[in-house]
Amino acid sequence: MTTTAPPERATGAPGAGDAYTAAQAAQDAGAAHGTRTLRVWRGAGGTGAFTEFTTDVVEGMVVLDAIHQIQAEQANDLAVRWNCKAGKCGSCSAEINGKPKLMCMTRLDELPTDAPITVEPMRAFPHVRDLVSDVSWNFRVKPQIRRFTPRPPDAPDGTWRMRQADVDRVQEFRQCIECFLCQDVCHVLRDHHKHETFAGPRYFVHAAALEMHPLDTADRIPELRQAQGIGYCNITKCCTSVCPEHIAITDNAIIPLKERVVDRFYDPVGRLVQLFRRKSPAH
């Protein structure tokens, strides 16, 4: 970040006299100020080009702040999707310097200062406009995974008994914010366009949360092998490396599911055992 004097704050702005604004002004005055150049993808329907914008920045800003500032001051029609600005809604996914990331969780000072910062839409999905991709395919995949199907209650009062360790095992998968960064980076979708035959890492996480749930009785293994195409995954771990929730997608979800597929379909002893241990069919 190049350092310059802080810009003068506007006077007479709404709330300019309140304690919060004064505290914010004091904090800004003590922070490093400068400028950064962003190369932002502009265009619609898969066509477009990078446009360069230089904007004032202050220490602590994230890429989404800079995009909002550009939108406010230089490109009012710039399309960008966001919601929480807290890394929890999964809306602001984009490719920053070529890597899938959340714009609201990527600080400008984490990015190299010797070149402009590139910001592009996720490329594994159809482009809508500027930084917005159409991720609706993901929501059509989700219903293809069999729903949670609990066994009958263990006690007459309608409650169940579970070991804490079994409950804990699936909690990791439930952290998913559906940002689809893992889907974006996966070469099976991004480069080979297997959207019709491959559910993708986000949905293997979802399937694992259900398959490993201690109460669940549904059998998802044949569909994971066939319709959801888990065999296409060659465990590159790219999905794990971009997950903002640090879910061990490959090690804890995909590999155990692949092992279940192998045990069921390719291991003769396993198949015999499964005949006796198979879960009851889904309702």
**Does residue 91 touch ligand FES according to CB under 6 A?**
yes
Comparison of 42 and 85: residue with beta carbon closer to ligand FES? 85
**C-alpha distance across the termini of the chain, in Å:** 58
From ligand SF4, ligand FES, none, interface partner of 121 (C-beta below 5 to 8 A by class) = none
**Does residue 22 touch ligand FES according to CB under 6 A?**
no
Pick the piece of the chain touching ligand FES (CB under 6 A) from 90-98, 124-132, 190-198, 261-269.
Answer: 90-98
**Does residue 175 touch ligand FES according to CB under 6 A?**
no
Name the token pair of 132: 């917005």
**Does residue 252 touch ligand FES according to CB under 6 A?**
no
CA nearest neighbour of 230 among 218, 221, 242: 221
From ligand SF4, ligand FES, none, interface partner of 27 (C-beta below 5 to 8 A by class) = none
Comparison of 116 and 120: residue with beta carbon closer to ligand SF4? 120
- Shortest Å distance, C-beta 53 to ligand FES: 20
**Does residue 131 touch ligand FES according to CB under 6 A?**
no
CA 89 to chain centre: 9
Within 27-86, the residues that bind ligand FES by CB under 6 A are 82-85
**Does residue 133 touch ligand FES according to CB under 6 A?**
no
- Shortest Å distance, C-beta 69 to ligand FES: 15
**Does residue 200 touch ligand FES according to CB under 6 A?**
no
- Shortest Å distance, C-beta 165 to ligand FES: 31
Name the token pair of 104: 């609201």
From ligand FES, ligand SF4, none, interface partner of 199 (C-beta below 5 to 8 A by class) = none
Interface with ligand SF4 by CB under 6 A: which residues?
Answer: 176-182, 185-186, 188, 201-202, 205, 233-239, 242-245, 247, 249-250, 254
- The DSSP symbol for 52 reads E
For residue 189, what is the enclosing H or E element?
helix 187-190
Q: Which parts of the chain are beta strand (E)?
A: 33-42, 49-58, 93-96, 99-102, 117-120, 127-129, 132-133
Comparison of 202 and 225: residue with beta carbon closer to ligand SF4? 202
Write the Ramachandran bin of 245: left for phi over 0, alpha for psi from -120 to 50, otherwise beta.
alpha
- The DSSP symbol for 142 reads G
Which residue type sits at 274?
Q
Name the token pair of 187: 């070469």
> Could you give the 3-state DSSP secondary structure of residue 53?
strand
Integer angstrom CA distances of residue 22 from 27, 34, 97, 177, 267: 9, 21, 35, 35, 69
Site pattern 92..121 for ligand FES (x: CB under 6 A): x---------x-x-----------------
> Could you give the 3-state DSSP secondary structure of residue 93?
strand
Residues at the contact surface with ligand FES, assessed by CB under 6 A: 82-85, 87-92, 102, 104
